Amino acid sequence: MSSPAAAEANGAPHERPSGFWKLVLGSVGVVYGDIGTSPLYAMREALHAAGRDGLVEEEVIGITSMLVWTLILIVTFKYVTLILRADNHGEGGTLSLLALAQRSVGRRTPVLFVLGVLGASLFYGDAAITPAISVLSALEGLELVAPHFDAWIIPVTVGIIFGLFWVQSRGTGRMGILFGPVTVVWFAVMALLGLLHAGDRLAVFHALNPLHASGFVASHGLGALPVMGSVFLAVTGAEALYADMGHFGRGPIRTAWLGLVFPALTLNYLGQGSLVLARPEAVANPFFLMAPPWALLPLVLLATAATIIASQAVISGAFSLTRQAVQLGLLPRLEIRHTSEAQVGQVYLPRVNWSLLAAVLILVLAFRSSSALASAYGIAVTGTIVVTSLLSFTVFRRAWGWPVWAVLAVLLPLLSVELVFLGANLAKLHDGGYVPLVIAAIVGTLVTTWVRGTAIVNAKAHAASLPLDQLVGMLKKSHPARVPGSAVFLTSDPDAAPAALMHNLKHNHVLHERNFVVTVTTATTPSVSDAGRIAVEPLADSFWRVTLTYGYMEVPNVPKALALARRDGIVLEMMSTSYFLSRRSFRASREGGMPFWQDQLFISMTKAATDATSFYRLPSNRVLELGQQLVV
Report the Cα 196 to chain-centroid distance in Å: 37
Asked if the model's pLDDT at residue 340 lies above 70, the reply is no
pLDDT score for 126:
85
What number is the average pLDDT over the span 402-428? 90
Helix (H) / strand (E) element for 631: namely strand 623-631
Buried b (16+ CB within 10 A) or exposed e, 458-473: eeebeeebeebeebbe
> Where is pLDDT greater, at 612 or 524?
612
Return the amino acid letter for 494.
P
The answer to whether 356 touches 153, Cβ cutoff 8 Å, is no
Return the amino acid letter for 386.
V
pLDDT score for 339:
67
Cα–Cα distance for residue pair 413/392, rounded to 1 Å: 13
Cα–Cα distance for residue pair 288/41, rounded to 1 Å: 10
Asked if the model's pLDDT at residue 200 lies above 80, the reply is yes
In the chain, the N- to C-terminal Cα span, in Å, equals 36
3-state secondary structure of 347: strand
Q: For residue 516, which phi and psi values (nearest 5 degrees)?
A: -120, 120
Asked if the model's pLDDT at residue 92 lies above 90, the reply is no
> Is the domain 4-432 a CATH 1.20.1740 member?
yes
> Where is pLDDT greater, at 442 or 312?
442
* Domain edges within the chain: 4-432, 458-631
pLDDT score for 16:
40
pLDDT score for 73:
94
Q: Percentages helix, strand, coil for the chain, rounded to the nearest 5? A: 70, 10, 20
Which tens digits make up the pLDDT trace of 445-466?
Answer: 999 999 999 888 888 887 878 8
How deeply is 211 buried, as exposed, middle or buried, from its count of CB atoms within 10 A (0-12, 13-18, 19+)?
Answer: exposed
Asked if the model's pLDDT at residue 174 lies above 80, the reply is no
Confidence of residue 120 (pLDDT cuts 50, 70, 90): confident
Confidence of residue 79 (pLDDT cuts 50, 70, 90): very high
**Which among 391, 506, 474, 345 has a CA at the least distance from the CA of 3?**
345
The answer to whether 440 touches 118, Cβ cutoff 8 Å, is yes
Helices (H) and strands (E) in the chain, counts: 26, 8
pTM of the predicted structure, to 2 decimals: 0.82
Which tens digits make up the pLDDT trace of 347-390?
Answer: 788 999 999 999 999 999 999 888 888 877 778 888 889 999 99
Asked if the model's pLDDT at residue 13 lies above 50, the reply is no
Which tens digits make up the pLDDT trace of 489-520?
Answer: 999 888 888 888 888 888 878 888 899 999 99
Radius of gyration of the chain (CA): 27
Looking at the DSSP bridge assignments, the partners of residue 623 are: 579
Report the Cα 590 to chain-centroid distance in Å: 35
Cα–Cα distance for residue pair 136/154, rounded to 1 Å: 8
Order of all β-strands in the sheet with 510-522: 534-540, 543-550, 510-522, 481-490, 577-587, 623-631
| Cα three-residue angle 26-99-398, rounded to 5 degrees | 110
